[in-house]
Structure 1
Amino acid sequence: MNRQSTRPSRNDRKTHDRLCDAAERLRDSVNRLSFDEPITHIYNPLDYAWDLHQCYIRQVSSQAEVLLLGMNPGPWGMAQTGVPFGEVAAVRDWMGIEGEVGSVEHEHPKRPIEGLACPRSEVSGRRLWGLMQEQFESPEAFFQKHFVLNYCPLVFMESSGRNRTPDKLPAEERDALQECCDEHLRDVLSLLPWKHLVGVGAFAENCLKRVAGDNASSAQISRILHPSPASPAANRDWAGTALAQLQSTGVW
């Protein structure tokens, strides 16, 4: 269950139901896809961490107007918690989300699924949610106007355990995945009164431009630096850089 200080309104509950329905459609559509080597292991947290993902969706308000979009789950973040950029401590201790996750049928020995008991910390998630904790006094205050989403729900791994991001897939596989994920993003964009669409990194920004452009959305599209430690720029005061970007574009 999740910790909420107020009872959700009828509009909130309707929004939650529609977002869950959209996530279910995404889950089922990507599960029908196939991927070849060098991909050897695929995790879909919308399957085994579905209960936690639903708890996360129930945090958002029907008046949310800022969407922050990431690429896909990291092995120690959403892969464990079902929450985008889902660093365990932020999900468990700040959002107050609790629950168990199921098992993965074809689990990589170097990437075990341990749920909220996972001792590893997702650096990207620690940075992103850490900024939100600094700027908002409670998760309720954040989710009143904000929602964080991943474009793709799947984790792709090679035999070594190395992560492979969706943009590195062969064209045919990438196009099939894009069709599913674009449809889900299109659904999400239609469900809430978005004013700002923020790509967390260039890949996500391009997805927003492509899909929001199709929808003739009036929301402003912008980008913040991705918090991944693989980015040298992100290792030099990522929070300060992201804060300045959000302020300069009028998001905050």
Structure 2
Amino acid sequence: MIVSKYFSQQEHILDTQNIANLYLELENNLSLKLHGLTYGLDLYIYRPLEYASSLHKEFVNKYLFSLKNVLFLGMNPGPWGMCQTGIPFGEVNVVKNYLRVSGTVEYPKNIHPQKPVLGLDCKRKEVSGQRFWDLINHLTDGDPFRFFKYCFVHNYYPLALVDKSQKATNITPADLKSEQRKILESVCDESLKSIIELLHVSTVVAIGNYVEKRSREVVKHYNLTNVKVVKIPHPSPRAVGTAENWKTITIEQLKSNNILDLFK
């Protein structure tokens, strides 16, 4: 297990820089493996962990300062959020004004002209990211360190896939054909297991149905008997049945699983 290089399950003293570096190493390895896969479609592949590495590393180094009880898990980067900033659900205004993370973003080559990468200069709103972080902002009275003391946020699949049609449709892992999806999931599942072990996560808050399914499969397959999976709805305004009441439903789920107490 990669964690054993620096500390065991029984140790309580942690070198925070080592854990941040190990986390970044796991992410980078995952990104490289996924980029080398064949997806069976004609796609643009966005790799925000690479072209937005400056912002992403500052985010990790700033907030991954301790082991985390809870891992909030998203599926993949959104075109106007993490694709711009390298931060999960990273809506630009939230990154600037709540997370207070800054850095440069390189302009990647070979991307869809309908979905450019402008970094912190992007003017488009990422509604899902805005809703997610606005809730965290509300629950922490504007202090992100109250969230990150015990929690962290991570994406199961850190690349973004956009088809080459004029519509520039986002292709999620769930949209892929079975053969390609299973290969992708075997890579992402193993990485998620390593992230859970590295951070000593006891609860995965799965954001949406797809990552709930993958989280439960990881817990079962790798026999992570001390890890609980909790689902909250995805904050997308297009989510069927939960869009209008997303905040209420999410707060109730966090409260019933004793997660809100961690923000106090």
Equivalents in 1 of 2:259, 2:223: separation in Å? Answer: 20
Give the Cα separation in 2 of the matches to 1:240 and 1:96: 26
SS of the counterpart of 2:154? strand
Deviation at 1:106, TM superposition (A): 0.9
User: Residues 232 and 170 of structure 1: is their aligned pair in 2 closer, same or farther, counting only changes over 3 Å?
Assistant: closer
Using the size of structure 2 for normalisation, the TM-score is 0.88
1:191 & 1:127 partners in 2: Cα distance?
28
For 1:142, the equivalent position in structure 2 comes to: 147
What do you get for the CA RMSD once the two structures are aligned?
1.5
Which of these residues, 45, 48, 54, is aligned with residue 48 of structure 2? 45
Native 8 Å contact 1:53 1:83 kept in 2 = yes
Contiguous gaps of at least 5 residues in structure 1: 1-8
What is the TM-score of this pair, normalised by structure 1? Answer: 0.92
Q: Percent identity?
A: 35
Corresponding residue number in structure 2 for 1:154? 159
Partner residue, 1:209: 216
Residue number in structure 2 paired with 1:71: 75
Distance (Å, rounded) in 2 between the aligned partners of 1:216 and 1:40: 35
d(CA) in 2 for partners of 1:62, 1:129: 20
Code of the residue aligned with 1:134 in structure 2: it is H
Q: State the partner residue of 2:204.
A: 197
How many Å separate the matches in 2 of 1:35 and 1:63? 35
| Structure 1 residue 10: Cα displacement | 5.3
Tell me whether 1:61 sits opposite 2:65 in the alignment.
Answer: yes
Q: Is 1:239 matched with 2:243?
A: no
Find the counterpart in structure 2 of residue 173 from structure 1.
180
What amino acid does structure 2 have at the position aligned with 1:235? Answer: A
Q: 4+ runs of 1 displaced by more than 3 Å?
A: none
How many equivalent pairs are there?
243
Q: The residue matched to 1:227 in structure 2 has which SS?
A: coil
* Corresponding position of 1:3: none
Q: In structure 2, what residue type is equivalent to 1:208?
A: S
Q: Verify: 1:99 aligned to 2:103, yes or no.
A: yes
Residues in 2 aligned to 1:47 and 1:91: alpha-carbon distance in whole angstroms: 18
Shift in Å at residue 35 of structure 1?
Answer: 2.2
* Letter matched to residue 175 of structure 1: K
AA paired with 1:200? I
SS of the residue corresponding to residue 233 of structure 1 reads coil
In 2, the alpha carbon distance for the partners of 1:238 and 1:68 equals: 16
Secondary structure of the structure 2 residue equivalent to 1:235: coil
* Structure 2 contact 80–91 (Cα < 8 Å) conserved: yes
Query: What corresponds to 2:20 in structure 1?
Result: 16
Q: Can you list the C-alpha shifts for 1:123-144, whole angstroms capped at 9, x where unaligned?
A: 1100111100001131111111
Q: Is the 8 A contact 2:14 2:66 kept in 1?
A: no
In 2, are the aligned partners of 1:189 and 1:212 still within 8 Å (CA)? no
Unaligned runs of 5+ in 2: 1-12
Q: Deviations over 1:58-84 (max 9, x none)?
A: 212323111111110110011111011
What is the Cα deviation at residue 186 of structure 1?
1.2
